[in-house]
Structure 1
Amino acid sequence: MAGRKSAVLRRIVNKDGHNNVCIDNVEGMVKLYLHDIWTTAVDMKWRYKLTLFASTFIMTWFIFGVIFYIIGMGNGDFEPGLSSNHTPCVLNVQTLTGAFLFSLESQTTIGYGFRCISEACPLAIFTPVAQLVITGLAEIFATGAFLAKLVRPKKRAETIKLGQSAVVCRRRGQLCLMLRVANMRKSLLIQSQLTGKLFQSNVTEEGEKTQIHQSSVDFHMDSSGESPFLILPLTFYHVLDERSPLSGLTAENLLTRDFELLVTLNATMESTAAMCQSRTSYVPQEILWGYEFKPALFSTPSGRYVANFKFFDKVQASNDPAFVSNNTEKLKLEEDYKKK
């Protein structure tokens, strides 16, 4: 039983929407990531991103500092007892530290005026030109990747709240699976669409067993089929009829079924017209049979509406007579399942 319970709780997508699938044994993974270096840089974690951003500057300063130092060595600028008519390639640079400081001053256009290039070395003249071109491109890439990650629509999706649990109750005389969605910012989300995917094992007519089979689960706000106005907490529903992938779901077999329902909300931000996506998933233990959501929208005497998120995830037993008679038996089944 412990093994079966562990299998039921296995998730493809975590509650916070992050992918829980590990990719392993891919041949040439590093080559694939480097081939699409922009996506790799944008998808980096912040600690790696900050390291890349800082190292881009530090390494280019150091590399070209070494180049200037090698040019000086080739010109004999660091040899003792130089004649008075010897013109060094870079004036006032006698050590690698000085060459590093000159590289830094050149790349950042500080130009203190103490260190400078003479006209005696064409290679030394060409090097800062190459440095500004190469490091300029590197800095544009690092800065662009940094800003792209900072302004990703993914951050906006974190202010879209999907309910921690789903409920099964009746709506307009039909048995429905219902869940809540809310926008926690005043900025609007337009063209909102909620879709679902059901992951479960499946056996084909030919006897082939699929460990993870995907089925589409349609969610509706009302019968119009239009995109809802996501400014208030909304409840979406899926009808559990014979066309549903969840057909045959009952209070008795809910906790013994092995499936995961992935819910995805796609919306467009009104301010930037960028698409954002929020995801979560529900396993059978997070679907409450015979319950309904408590009201989370209230009106004030001043004529305003208040969305109280204290009640967003609160549920209450349904008053439908079809569920009242089964509540006691359902609670007993849940307690027995938890004990096992």
Structure 2
Amino acid sequence: MEPAHKNVNYELVSNSNENIHRDDVPITFRGTREARRRERLVKRSNGRSLVHHHNIPPLSLLGYISDGFTTVLNARWIVIILLFAAMYVLSWLLFGFIWWGIDSAYVAVTNSSCVSNIDGFSASFLFSIETQVTIGYGYRFVADDCSFGILILVIQCLVGLVIDSFLLGLIFAKITRPRNRRKTILFSDTACINVNNKGEKRLQFRIGDVRSRSSLVEAHVRVQLYWNRKDGETDEYRLEQNDLEVGYDSGTDRIILLTPVVITHIIKETSPLYTVTNDSILNEDIEIVIILEAIVESTGLTAQALWSYTEREILFNYKFKPMIYRQSDAKGTWEVDFNRLSSIEPCSC
């Protein structure tokens, strides 16, 4: 079945820049008329923002440094490994030079060594490593009467503990982040606009969680409409942002993902989508961004999943097919067919 808007011939095309995390071949709906390729606000494959920031004030850039833990936490693993490797090596080199200088000065003043068996920088560097990582071979040690050397020994041990603590805390925080939890939260490929039994026009999309043994608690949905359109007064394009009501006031935005759920926005006169029609939507620059936020039961951490639909992924006069069935066997168990998560059918609404 080929989804179609009125008066527009549609074709299914492969899009190498957009990966739908459920399918082997990414599919998007594209009109042959005025086929525009624009970068999305939200990347579907990983749920990350594709907004590029420019001309950031210098004081704001300093915030990345003052909030260094978050900055490093968001970095790639290879960056973190190289950063801490550099921190360890630099600290060993720094204290290696310090031990070398202390021992040379102590020998010049007292004619005895502050650290035994140090006869050059290589030996000082090895002693620095042995001290900070607490290897303690016993061949090199600080003399009892070298009080300044004992002070440097204490300082280096504390510096090593600080670096170790920061590294362990960062690794734990990065591993336990529930960012990958969103990979098991699936959204339908398209959104549908149809009319319910009360004659109300509505926007619908479907969400499902494939995990059955790690449920999401207090899951709720927010929907934002981003509309890039021309300002009538200045003829400049402005990105407008509006909330699409999905039950925030009534509490129906809180969902239980025991089974896939169809999220509905009633298109009333107050809805920014009220004037959008089947023909006009293709001439608009629209992206509907969905944010699902929930607490992961097994960890107690908050997980987020982002998804979006552009104007060419919103289909009029379609509805979702059922995907939950009760088996006809003696047990009568409920089963969910996720192959039908994005299955739609035309409706006469």
TM-score, scaled relative to structure 1:
0.82
1:197 positional shift? 0.8
In 2: Cα distance, 1:33 partner to 1:224 partner? 37
Report SS of the residue matched to 2:157. Answer: helix
Question: Which residue number corresponds to residue 100 of structure 1?
Answer: 125
Report SS of the residue matched to 1:321. Answer: coil
Structure 2 residue aligned with 1:166, among 191, 198, 211?
A: 191
In 1: Cα distance, 2:76 partner to 2:247 partner? 36
1:258 positional shift? 1.6
Q: Which runs of 5+ in 1 are unaligned?
A: 78-84, 323-340
Give yes or no for contact 2:221–2:253 (8 Å, CA) kept in 1: no
In 1: Cα distance, 2:148 partner to 2:235 partner? 69
Question: Which residue number corresponds to residue 14 of structure 1?
Answer: 43
1:50 aligns with 2:110: no
Per-residue CA deviation, residues 149-185 of structure 1 (Å, 9 max, x unaligned), is 2211323233222222212223334322111111122
In 2: Cα distance, 1:5 partner to 1:288 partner? 16
Q: What aligned pairs does 1:32-71 form with structure 2 within 5 A after superposition? A: 32-71=63-102
Question: Which residue number corresponds to residue 81 of structure 1?
Answer: none
Question: Which residue number corresponds to residue 249 of structure 1?
Answer: 276
1:118 aligns with 2:143: yes
In 2: Cα distance, 1:101 partner to 1:165 partner? 62
Question: Which residue number corresponds to residue 182 of structure 1?
Answer: 208
Q: What's the C-alpha RMSD, in Å, of the aligned pairs? A: 2.8
Q: What aligned pairs does 1:181-220 form with structure 2 within 5 A after superposition? A: 181-185=207-211, 186-201=213-228, 211-220=238-247
In 2: Cα distance, 1:43 partner to 1:183 partner? 25
1:127 positional shift? 0.8
In 1: Cα distance, 2:90 partner to 2:298 partner? 38
CA 226–256 in structure 1, closer or farther in 2 if over 3 Å, else same: closer
Give yes or no for contact 1:87–1:118 (8 Å, CA) kept in 2: no
In 1: Cα distance, 2:251 partner to 2:240 partner? 30
Per-residue CA deviation, residues 106-158 of structure 1 (Å, 9 max, x unaligned), is 12222111121112422211111001112212221222122212211323233
Structure 1 residue aligned with 2:293, among 253, 259, 266?
A: 266
Per-residue CA deviation, residues 89-116 of structure 1 (Å, 9 max, x unaligned), is 2112223232222222212222111121
CA 9–213 in structure 1, closer or farther in 2 if over 3 Å, else same: same
CA 22–321 in structure 1, closer or farther in 2 if over 3 Å, else same: closer
Give yes or no for contact 1:179–1:237 (8 Å, CA) kept in 2: yes
Q: Which runs of 5+ in 2 are unaligned?
A: 1-30
Question: Which residue number corresponds to residue 27 of structure 1?
Answer: 57
Give yes or no for contact 1:192–1:267 (8 Å, CA) kept in 2: yes
Report SS of the residue matched to 1:116. Answer: coil
Give yes or no for contact 1:65–1:102 (8 Å, CA) kept in 2: yes
In 2: Cα distance, 1:165 partner to 1:225 partner? 22
CA 194–99 in structure 1, closer or farther in 2 if over 3 Å, else same: same
Report sequence identity in percent. Answer: 27
Question: Which residue number corresponds to residue 136 of structure 1?
Answer: 161
In 1: Cα distance, 2:55 partner to 2:236 partner? 23
CA 115–303 in structure 1, closer or farther in 2 if over 3 Å, else same: farther
Question: Which residue number corresponds to residue 332 of structure 2?
Answer: 303
Give yes or no for contact 1:178–1:237 (8 Å, CA) kept in 2: yes
In 2: Cα distance, 1:225 partner to 1:134 partner? 52
Per-residue CA deviation, residues 177-204 of structure 1 (Å, 9 max, x unaligned), is 1111111222111211111111113567
> 1 or 2, which has the higher helix percentage?
1
Question: Which residue number corresponds to residue 345 of structure 2?
Answer: 317
In 2: Cα distance, 1:297 partner to 1:220 partner? 23
